[in-house]
A and B are shown apart, each in its own frame.
Chain A
């Protein structure tokens, strides 16, 4: 072993044993541990949630086709180790004994569904239960509504095309049914074996095919790579749950972004703690470096010794951090096992790689400037102790740290937007703090003079420290800001999720309600104490022209489904409504609402802003619809933002009542009925046999369940980040406490009373904590605004309460930690204090 290695190892060994590396080791352990536990947990959770969400497409991937695909495609799937299933769907009339109705016919093979389960009930609108079976040949399972519509009983028969089937189950739910209150026929589930004998898929019929695949992600990707060149965009569509833009898809996407954000913040927290610890480590080694140089060690030898030391520390920190992070994550997952379905069996290598990478980058890049300072300590320090280092460049320090943080965030998130927002917020904070530092210096000059009391001492120290070491104030503020960002984001996000499904969210929708039925239903609801939503008139119209120019590129139903699964938007026909009252959850973003229309002006129309964008429609454009044989023309006077997350009927187009006064509409409405009153539904709706009833309870419950799980996971991520933040604060206070040792020792030696020293330190930390909290609250507003509007697509608002809470909690926390640190030092006698200083 070379002399350099021996020296480095000897120094490392002794310092580790004597606890002198505790702070920097703790910082690395913390960074590696928190990044590993957060990333591993969030990756496992995302896996679990994606798996759960996959139920909504009944597979990991789905291939939708308008044509039957080549058999070879399916056999190839098994070569790629994929499981597959398929479904053929079409619309067909279903004949009961006396009545007939149009139904959504789904013929499935025995493997369907690959994810999720079919749910059946013992009676129409009964409590759904999952089944592992699928309809056998000669059987059909039919939707509750169909029992009403075609007047049949369980065990009875229905005719579909040329074949007759026995009804063996009440179909409550299939995983990939989607959700649409418009124009959705009741589902009939049958075996693919029987489809041919019905003869309903002949020429002219609209048949669509769905092929389902599950397997390892890499196998799925490989298969898609093989399949892609053969796909025709007009015929085929390959989808995964990531493409899902439904309420659930969006909730999960937001949660994933939150996990990413939390992990990013954990990285920044770790970086801050390593920066603080590395600075302290460097300062503690000024003397040894000066001694070594005096004894003949050249600069390169000193560099090699300390770089090796940093390597040893980093390695040990990474080993301990990985162990701690893994244990922590395992404990959290075990604790959460009953609430969130997270598998402990799957090991993800990416978080481990990220954690190790973070440990190395943080240790190397954040130690760089302190090490450069250390290397520049002149040997003359052995004679003149006041000489520290010849390198002093705040610009170099901040720029190396800044670049390191930004690169780390960018590499990790692969999201320039999130990284840039957090980084710019950090810069704003630093600039603010530098300004505040100057104010503190000025204040300190005034307040730090006068008779010697604990506050005077505190201010005097702040003034001195504000000049010499603004890094500490900045690191406190950044830590508090990051904690605030995570906390407020979590609060806002969970609140918005819960707002999506408040108590009393409608769980039944009724459509095809005639004018006379509307009055009857209103009375029925009133008599039975049922809370109903409003009645919206609906007419189906064909959207044919913009400014008299025929639409060439049709925005298809499939497009609408992909953009917003389960909500039929604009297809060959659009659902139009009219009224002068703006619906809840709708917001005018451009133009004026319909109620400002005056007689003699062209009829006004309001269009949903996203569909307007897709169609290239702007204010002032004249849109033409065909409703039946009538032509309706209206001019776009407003663009609306629609909150699709609310469980209520939403419309792309809203017309003025005057424009459609000749039409007799049907109505759509919704109402809420408690789980306990479910049995009443049959009697409640009995007088209105011809209306169409949708039970969306199952869908709402699924949504609630997932949102609860995600919320719970978010809470735990928050707790993990808070713990990480608290540890960083402790490390910072601890580091700064050592810097105060000399002064405390002198004061103590000179006979200053314990309480005065104690209070002066506590007061100093109270002031620092207060300022840091206030600055953090200000910077927090900026980063939250940017994150919520640019990344999370949420509504942003001011969080004024944190302008009060953050400074108070900051002052109390930092003050408390300062008090503990101070207590430890002041419990030593003067002799021990002097010895510690050596």
Chain B
């Protein structure tokens, strides 16, 4: 039996920041692996370090020590340009505050990663995925003309357009009401399942976390425990 290589593998990663009182270690050595297609939730209270960890895993920030391997590539030894390439090729993002470019339409926002990655027919791809998220009628609307739920659906569509191997989601429902939250959650997990993407989700919403296959608990910059969900919540 062959063991599939890990999609994400961290070994003793730490993060230190400079403050007026000197250097401060905000992330204690953390090690874990995530298998391809697996969904994990990083949960913890505000300030526990979960977003910092997400930033490091996604290559948005540099580790102060330790190793991170993403799909077999050593992220920890990459420079900014190499990390940008890796993000463009293998990673998708969803953020709490949607992070859409305000001066581009919904369709153009979705096209953006495909264009940056140099994929063919970005518009066709974007139109197709916009249909999948049910917003084809809003293609030419600007973000400030869309509701919060619609904006997050556009962001989800943008995240999936390049068929990323890993999807990082930072509190994807944090800015939404319960109805929209449910819609967005379902859409996220549906697309994730269909595309067999590895999902790393940061949240303090335990209900949402339980939809993932595994949960990493963070507290004060430390990974305190790894748990499996007690039961699979349908989300309906």
Which residues of A approach B to under 8 Å, CB–CB? 3, 6-7, 10-11, 14-15, 18, 20, 287-288, 290-301, 378-380, 382-385, 835, 838
- Assuming the A-B contacts A11-B104, A14-B103, A296-B87, are A380 and B60 also in contact, with contact meaning beta carbons closer than 8 angstroms in the complex? yes
Rounded to whole angstroms, the CA-CA distance of A296 and B88 in the bound complex is 4
Pairwise interchain contact B101-A288, C-beta atoms closer than 8 A: yes
Interface residues of B in 88-113 (CB under 8 A from A): 88-89, 91, 93, 95, 97, 99-105, 108, 112-113
Pairwise interchain contact A295-B143, C-beta atoms closer than 8 A: no
Rounded to whole angstroms, the CA-CA distance of A442 and B115 in the bound complex is 51
* Chain B positions within 8 Å of A296 at CB level: 84-89, 91, 113, 116-117
Nearest-CB distance from B96 to chain A (Å)? 9
The answer, yes or no, to whether B192 is at the interface (CB within 8 Å) is: no
- Assuming the A-B contacts A10-B104, A838-B143, are A382 and B95 also in contact, with contact meaning beta carbons closer than 8 angstroms in the complex? yes
* Chain A positions within 8 Å of B142 at CB level: 14, 18
The answer, yes or no, to whether B80 is at the interface (CB within 8 Å) is: yes
* Chain A positions within 8 Å of B101 at CB level: 11, 287-288, 291-292
Pairwise interchain contact A293-B103, C-beta atoms closer than 8 A: no
Rounded to whole angstroms, the CA-CA distance of A290 and B87 in the bound complex is 13
Closest-by-CB residue of A relative to B158 is: A295
* Chain B positions within 8 Å of A6 at CB level: 115
Pairwise interchain contact B93-A294, C-beta atoms closer than 8 A: yes
Interface residues of B in 32-90 (CB under 8 A from A): 51, 54-55, 58, 60-61, 80-81, 84-89
Pairwise interchain contact A20-B103, C-beta atoms closer than 8 A: yes
Closest-by-CB residue of B relative to A3 is: B115
Pairwise interchain contact B60-A382, C-beta atoms closer than 8 A: yes
Question: 12 A-B pairs, CB-CB below 8 angstroms?
Answer: A10-B108, A290-B99, A291-B100, A294-B60, A295-B93, A296-B116, A297-B88, A299-B84, A380-B60, A380-B61, A835-B144, A838-B144
* Chain B positions within 8 Å of A379 at CB level: 60, 84, 87
Q: Chain B CB within 10 Å — which of A7, A10, A291 has the most?
A: A291
Closest-by-CB residue of B relative to A385 is: B97
Pairwise interchain contact A14-B104, C-beta atoms closer than 8 A: yes
- Assuming the A-B contacts A3-B115, A6-B115, are A298 and B95 also in contact, with contact meaning beta carbons closer than 8 angstroms in the complex? no
- Assuming the A-B contacts A288-B103, A384-B51, are A294 and B87 also in contact, with contact meaning beta carbons closer than 8 angstroms in the complex? yes
* Chain B positions within 8 Å of A295 at CB level: 87-88, 93, 112-113, 116, 158
Nearest-CB distance from A170 to chain B (Å)? 78
* Chain B positions within 8 Å of A835 at CB level: 144
Rounded to whole angstroms, the CA-CA distance of A290 and B99 in the bound complex is 9
Closest-by-CB residue of A relative to B118 is: A3
Rounded to whole angstroms, the CA-CA distance of A290 and B108 in the bound complex is 17
Closest-by-CB residue of B relative to A296 is: B88
Rounded to whole angstroms, the CA-CA distance of A737 and B97 in the bound complex is 24
Pairwise interchain contact B116-A292, C-beta atoms closer than 8 A: yes
Pairwise interchain contact A298-B143, C-beta atoms closer than 8 A: no
Q: Chain B CB within 10 Å — which of A288, A295, A299 has the most?
A: A295
* Chain A positions within 8 Å of B86 at CB level: 296
Pairwise interchain contact B104-A382, C-beta atoms closer than 8 A: no
* Chain B positions within 8 Å of A294 at CB level: 58, 60, 87, 93, 99
Closest-by-CB residue of A relative to B82 is: A298
Pairwise interchain contact B84-A293, C-beta atoms closer than 8 A: yes
- Using A15-B103, A288-B102, A383-B51 as known contacts, list a sample of 16 further A-B pairs with CB atoms less than 8 Å apart, ordered by residue number in A: A6-B115, A10-B108, A11-B101, A291-B101, A294-B99, A295-B88, A296-B85, A296-B86, A296-B87, A299-B80, A378-B61, A379-B84, A380-B61, A383-B170, A384-B51, A835-B144
Pairwise interchain contact A301-B80, C-beta atoms closer than 8 A: no
9 closest A-B pairs by beta carbon, nearest first, are: A296-B88, A295-B113, A14-B103, A380-B60, A298-B84, A296-B87, A15-B103, A288-B101, A379-B60
Pairwise interchain contact B54-A3, C-beta atoms closer than 8 A: no
Nearest-CB distance from A287 to chain B (Å)? 7
Convert B4-27 into 0s and 1s, putting 1 for each residue whose CB lies closer than 8 angstroms to a CB of A: 000000000000000000000000
* Chain B positions within 8 Å of A297 at CB level: 84, 88, 116
* Chain B positions within 8 Å of A7 at CB level: 112, 115
Rounded to whole angstroms, the CA-CA distance of A53 and B115 in the bound complex is 65
Rounded to whole angstroms, the CA-CA distance of A22 and B178 in the bound complex is 39
- Assuming the A-B contacts A295-B93, A298-B81, A838-B144, are A382 and B103 also in contact, with contact meaning beta carbons closer than 8 angstroms in the complex? no
Pairwise interchain contact B95-A383, C-beta atoms closer than 8 A: yes
Nearest-CB distance from A504 to chain B (Å)? 68
- Assuming the A-B contacts A18-B103, A294-B60, A838-B102, are A380 and B118 also in contact, with contact meaning beta carbons closer than 8 angstroms in the complex? no
Closest-by-CB residue of A relative to B161 is: A295
Closest-by-CB residue of B relative to A7 is: B115
* Chain A positions within 8 Å of B91 at CB level: 296
Rounded to whole angstroms, the CA-CA distance of A835 and B104 in the bound complex is 16
Closest-by-CB residue of A relative to B90 is: A296
Closest-by-CB residue of B relative to A14 is: B103
* Chain B positions within 8 Å of A15 at CB level: 103
* Chain B positions within 8 Å of A18 at CB level: 103, 142
Closest-by-CB residue of B relative to A290 is: B99
Closest-by-CB residue of B relative to A295 is: B113
Nearest-CB distance from B59 to chain A (Å)? 8
Pairwise interchain contact B144-A301, C-beta atoms closer than 8 A: no
* Chain A positions within 8 Å of B100 at CB level: 291
* Chain B positions within 8 Å of A380 at CB level: 55, 60-61
